[in-house]
Amino acid sequence: MNKKAFNETIDIEPIRILFVCLGNICRSPAADGIMQKLVEDAGLDNLITIDSAGTYGGHAGDLPDARMRHHARRRGYELHHRSRKVRSDDFEDFDLILAMDDANYDNLFRMAPSPEARQKIRRMTDFSQRLLVDHVPDPYYEGANGFERVLDILEDACSGLLSAIKDSKL
């Protein structure tokens, strides 16, 4: 079935998703790249908008960490996102804001300008299907295995997220 025909069989509302980690150079740009590929492969890129940001702005303008880009590329993901800090407008511009861990969840919750904005914040691992994890660990100070583990978790959670979107279970 071609993408267009597949897309016509799915009735979903457009959704805007923001992935968030600390510096926006490892986990959230990887989630962004993985989800973008899943969405494009499903022919839903006209309905699902994806971006990523960090709660810390010290890497603003930087490409994702070279190690994450290397490991992602080996799995078929190209990460070209430029790091940016979460902005107050993000709470209005996005329908779903996904934190990679509890520290970023708490930071986002404090940054949210309203109770309605807080309702948009969820944990990335809420969408995990087969891996039983409660957060996406920061691989920055880990070796190759840390980056591979993060990609495993994100592939699982992004797949679960796409399923939830298709099933209108958000």
Which tokens hold the place of 73?
């590329």
Q: In sequence order, what DSSP letters do the residues of 103-127 get, joined into one string?
A: HHHHHHHHH-SSHHHHTTEEEGGGG
Q: What is the DSSP letter of 164?
A: H
- CA 98 – CA 49 distance, rounded (Å): 13
21 is catalytic: yes
Q: Of these residues, 32, 138, 156, 158, which one is catalytic? A: 138
The vertex-81 CA angle with 80 and 82, nearest 5°, equals 115
Among residues 27, 32, 65, 69, which one is catalytic?
27
Q: Which of 21, 26, 90, 156 is catalytic?
A: 21
Active site residue 138: yes
By annotation, the residues acting in catalysis are 21, 27, 138
